[in-house]
């Protein structure tokens, strides 16, 4: 079984620890899938892990992390997302952060 299939199984079974390990994989596609998976199935630690990924050098990782935080729905993320919005230079990442904040406020 490939890593992407493993991620889907982890999401279905709520295996947050496995997803957290995979967000640091060398393969960017695996990282992005694991980040999205945390947004769908994360529990206690997911918010902290996703927030740290907002500091990643790669804008695609930052954008995926912001989206996952919105999907996660943890209200603790709101203040940190707003802070990152104030310092984010990449327009796509800023847009993802705005979408995530909207989700946290009961948007779509």
For residue range 36-92, list pLDDT tens digits in order: 999 999 887 899 999 999 999 999 999 999 999 999 988 889 999 999 999 999 999
Distance of CA 78 to the CA centre of its chain: 13
SS3 content of the chain, % helix, strand, coil (to 5): 75, 0, 25
What is the number of alpha carbons within 13 Å of residue 65 lying toward its C-beta?
29
Residue 108 has pLDDT above 60, yes or no: no
The pLDDT of residue 107 is: 61
95 neighbors 101 (Cβ within 8 angstroms): no
State the pTM of this model. 0.92
Q: Which two tokens stand for residue 26?
A: 């060398």
CA-based nearest residue to 34, from 54, 57, 8, 14 = 8
């Amino acid at each position: 079984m490939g890593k992407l299939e493993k991620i889907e199984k982890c999401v279905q079974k709520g295996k947050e620890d496995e997803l957290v390990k995979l967000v640091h994989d060398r393969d960017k596609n695996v990282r992005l899938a694991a980040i999205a998976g945390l947004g769908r199935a994360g529990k206690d630690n997911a918010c902290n892990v996703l927030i740290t990924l907002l500091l990643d050098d790669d804008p695609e990782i930052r954008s995926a992390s912001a989206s996952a935080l919105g999907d996660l729905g943890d209200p603790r993320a709101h203040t940190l997302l707003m802070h990152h919005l104030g310092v984010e230079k990449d327009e796509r990442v800023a847009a993802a952060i705005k979408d995530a904040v909207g989700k946290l406020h009961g948007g779509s």
